[in-house]
Structure 1
Amino acid sequence: MNALTAVKPTPAPVAQQYPGFSFTPSAQSPRLLELTFSAETTTQFLQQVAQWPVQALEYKSFLRFQVGKILDDLCGNQLQPLLIKTLLDRAEGALLINGEGIDHVSQAEEMVKLATAVAHLIGRSNFDAMSGQYYARFVVKNVDNSDSYLRQPHRVMELHNDGTYVEEQTDYVLMMKIDEQNMQGGNSLLLHLDDWEHLDEFFRDPLARRPMRWAAPPSKNVSKDVFHPVFDVDSLGRPVMRYIDQFVQPKDFEEGTWLSRLSDALETSKNILSIPVPVGQISAH
């Protein structure tokens, strides 16, 4: 069971206004910032990219950067540096992004275009082997017979880092909710590594730096195992983590029991945030 951090009432944060969008610290956490594109910006963006269907973005990778440039130009070229600064700032590092007027499943293609623009202002997206595209789009239904927890709707998915079992470096993940029907919940659960009570204990353990084997189930379309430790350090020597409990393959008793303790320590953290992500909004972290 996840222990979720209760959100304490705080004074309403003050929005910073930029050309085409506003930027507001979230009332839920100082590490989470909310970025909202005005309805005018959203409308102008969709008009200017209407000539390219999503299929064109899938076939021509350079167009993904072009739609990003269009969005940045509409924002006075102040959007891109702000996105990069926020995601690279360890004190922050998370965004909830909203395009006013994009909030219904009938606008699914428009949602993909906006998400593509935001993502490619930050960098090139990883190839998703499961979908065969630069992004993944999938449905979570009330009945599931897949080979991982990803699409199971009736359970809380454990905390993890995306990109733990691929060879491409994954610096951030961007997620969007396109539709939601006949359900409650669906929040994103986030835990900043520096807020984890047991970080020092596990980071200093000798097993933290031992390369371990990571393997994905068949649905991921990744047949090659990868090897890396759970913990590493960034350019300033601070802890970073690459971990997902479903795909790590311990080689012995010592690794297996250590990983079990690590998973329990993550799931029982009192500093997990439960962030509502409405339809059409983007969570980037």
Structure 2
Amino acid sequence: MIPAAFDYARPTTVAEAVSALAEAGEDGKILGGGQSLIPVLRLRLAYPSTIVDVSRVEEMRGVSDDGDAIVIGAMTTHHEVMHDALVAEHAPLIAQATGTVADPQVRHRGTFGGALAHADPAGDLGAVALALGVEFVATGSGGERRIPASEFFLDYLTTALSPDEVLTAVRVPKLGAGWSSHYEKFNRVAQAWSIVAVAALVKRENGSISEARIGLTNMGSTPLRAAAVESALAGADASAAAIGAAAEHAAEGTSAPSDLSGKSDYREHLARVLTKRAVLAASGS
């Protein structure tokens, strides 16, 4: 199909992008890598009055070290994130999950910030962002602000970004020594969208799990933290039995959808199974 008519702006700075969005009002849309927005436009599921293409805003690209955090520009492609040395050193969970996104063609075009701002609960990076406790850096008419991951995802395809705000970067805290991670995903062979996936971060001390952070993909209208599993794992030994018992709580507090890929009870079962696998892999058990 052919998208509905829209005005087009192609700024080269964040300030120009914010100005273009402000002028468009609530009907403006940001175009990053185009891997999510273009199909939506072609299906006429969205009718923006203005498309603001930020592909030439170089200040939104790249990965940098900022002391206690690494900063990933929103326009950094999935491929670049996967192969970045700082990401590999300080946030390998991001590289692990990004490697499962779609296919190589999409990963060369799709962007880290674009995928997060799209906020599809079946997308891989939202659960990772929650587990890592990232901060989203947004710039709008009122200046720059930082949004904790726990406050960013509001509902299906809905974030805390205001209509005139551009997601410019994501700040990922350095977790330090003792942490390990794993991303476990179950998807249809024909598609890379997660039926369910689990992002696991585990910190071990003296043979036990001192802390765990578990993010769930596609278990509700937004990415979720598996708080009951995290509580059960805190202080537990890193045995398969203890981890399996904790993983039984994975579906608590979720509202898994039912669709052609699986019923809600099937997703709840997958959440328990995948959580066990992810934590076992992350803890080295």
TM-score normalized by structure 2? 0.29
Higher relative contact order (CA 8 A, sep 6+): 1
TM-score normalized by structure 1? 0.29
Structure with higher strand content: 2
